[in-house]
Each structure stands twice: as structure tokens, then as C-alpha cells.
Chain A
């Protein structure tokens, strides 16, 4: 997409290890995500899915192996991390909107103070993305005045305003009511159809089937299975995967 960046995979992970004290959260993870590819990561709670994507934008620091994002390796070089952080957007389970700012300010702050864009330009961009997530009329409200689904769509718009190359979704619908899940997933489907590179931790298997290029199943800090959605849902060989699928699809 962007000719100034080196080609190659969007994210390349090799032998990734992560411990929390004595707890081994990620074990020798290998994963490569191409530009424009959509990955869905699922697995039981505590399996390391969130930790994995939080390592990609450095909210967690890995303690073994290598991660390269857009061709740049993540290490302790601060400038390096800042540069990469701007290219990776993230949407959280609990939205994490800034409650003391309006919806519009939430979307403008990072472009203005991080990317040093003029305010007028940042506002135009913000309004364009609010339009895209279908809540342009809420721009002047505060987050607390919106429903959960609307807040999550603002959070998506806020991340998009930085015009990232990669979007990470950390269980974006798991705290929402069913009718709001649909409105958030719709926005994510649109985003996918426009060619965004997306890595989504989610249990929305319908979404995975429709959008994902690959589905990854994790358990106990390992990638257990990795397959295109059709194969994943119909012919997975692994016992743990089948058990998990029967639990999430069972009802």
C-alpha cells in the first residue's frame, strides 16, 4: 500500500516467548501476517491471544524471539517503537475512550499531537472516519453519553484517524449486547473489504468465516492450529480445537 515502506510481511513473529513471573504466557510463537491479510485469533481465556497482539504494538514486551512490524524489528530502541506505534492501531475490549474529551477530540488528539497535523485537517479526517463508522452526528458528545456499540465504533474511528497500516482488535465485541455486536462487526467487515491488515482476537465465528483469511487457534500460550476458515471449522484435526469449537458453536 505505502511505497515508502519496505515490502515483505506486515508482521513477522519468530520464536516469541513471554513470561509473567513464573507463568509462561507465550511459547515459541511463529506467525507471519501479509499486508492486507485478515487473521482471526481464538482460543480459551488465558491462552495468550491478547498477550500476543499486545506484543505487536509493544503494550507488552516480549522476552524471547523476534517481532518485526512492517520490516522494523521491535527492540529497546525507543525511536523505533514510537515510529511503529503510529502505524499500528488498536481497539480494546473496554473501548478506553478518553472520558474528558468529546468524541471529536478523542479522534483528533493523536493526529494533532503525535503526527503534528494541523487542527483543521485533523478535524476533517476525524469527521470523515466518524461518518465511516456511521456516527457523524455524535461528534460533539462525550463518550459517557453513548451506548457501548457507539463507543466501540468511536474507538475504531479514533484508531483509524492515525491512518495506521495494521489494525489490532482485542475482543472488541465481548462486552457488548447482541444488537450492538452487529453494528461493530459491520464496521469491521467494511474495513476488511477495503484491504486493511487486521489481526482480531474474537470469538465471533460468523465474522471469522466471512472475513478471515486464516483462523488461528491458541491454547496454553501456543498456536495449536492454523487454517483457512472453511478448513478450520469443518475439518480441524486437533482434539483441543474441536472441543473449543463445540463450546463456542454449540449454542
Chain B
């Protein structure tokens, strides 16, 4: 057993948790009640996927040798648990790691801003996630394959929902067209990282994300065309999230999300 499979699982789990967290910020504040309910449902799906993945990651972690365990995570709270020989849980992994041990792509931590930015972010990610989970179903790790198979049903719906919104906004009013075009242009720079093979991707030998790009681009282009939105030209792409180098946004997400576990450590809730 090595740490590769653990980090690989965390990379997927962190994407699900952070995007689910961002989307959950809409709950109670949506533009119309039906969509408030729909977007909260999506958030619940991401959170459910994150939980399955963190539970699997915890199992992988707990099976490591004690030397390997010590080198996995930097936070003092986790180091204290590890040095006491405690097993880690899904909550330890979500609530006690610091930002540099989070491996999510930068796209998912970007702020909601407005409905257009939220939709653009989800659309790019859903289209990727659909391609990704389709391939992950073939994983040699049977737990990951099972999670992928179950999640793919949800992701298929997410992609339909966000695609429909891109089209609706793009082909709606002048204002909505301008807003969604701006959001697509702005978050485009975060899509390159989705297809970069990180050190962990290479070592895990699971999905070749680089190979997903043409399929992704074709899907995205089809929807953007129907939405009368111009596909952004290839330009500078941000990256670093998969290696733990994040934007400033992640720190604030974690400060909020982890507050209870930090202020009241080692308690059952």
C-alpha cells in the first residue's frame, strides 16, 4: 500500500466537497424557489460523493504504515491524532487538513459571484466530471469504480441542468447573454487544470485526464454554440490546486467550514 491511491482519492473527494460547499451557499438565496431547491439538490449530490470518497480515503489512510502516515498531512491537529495512533475518519480528512493538503482544482473553489458565474463553473466542471466518472468506472480500485458508477447517474443530471442554464442565459435576454459570456470567459482560465496530469494522477495510473479534453471540448462547444456564446480562445491557464497551491479563496472556505472542529476539537456532533 502506498500513499498514491490515498492522494488520488482525496483529489476527487476534495473537488466534490469544495464544489458542494460553494453551491450550498446558494441555499435559501436562489433566484426562484424551484431553482433554489434544484441547486441544493446538486450540492447534496456532491456532498454525498465527497463522503463516500473520504470514507474510502480514511480506509486507505488507516491501512498505511506509521511512517507513511506521519508524512501525509501537515496540520498539527492531524499530526496529534496520528501520533496517538488514532484511526482517521471522513470528518478528520475534511475538517482538519490545511489548504496545502487539499488537492481540488482551482475551478471549484472560485466564488459564486452571481447565477451566471455559478452556472459557468458548474457547467465546466459537470462536463469534465461526466467524462471523468465514465472512465473511473473502470478503476482497478473496486471502491472507486463503484462510487463512479453511482455518481455518474447524478452527474449526468448535473450536466443536463447546467447545460440547460447556459443555453437559457445565453439565448435569453441581452443582459443574461452578456453575463454568461463574461462568466464563461472569466472561468475559462481554470479549465486547463482539469486535464493536467498531476504527479498523483501519473502515479495512480487511473484515468488519463489529458485524454478527456477533446471529448470535453466537443461537449462544451456544442452547448455554447446552442447558447449563442463564443467559445473562448485558448489562453493562459491557471493551475496548482492538484498540488496544493490554491487561490486565496480556499483559505476562507476552510476557515468557515472547519470552524467548529477547530474551536471545539475532539467532540462528537
Binding partners A and B: no
A residues adjacent to B (C-beta < 8 A)? none
B residues adjacent to A (C-beta < 8 A)? none
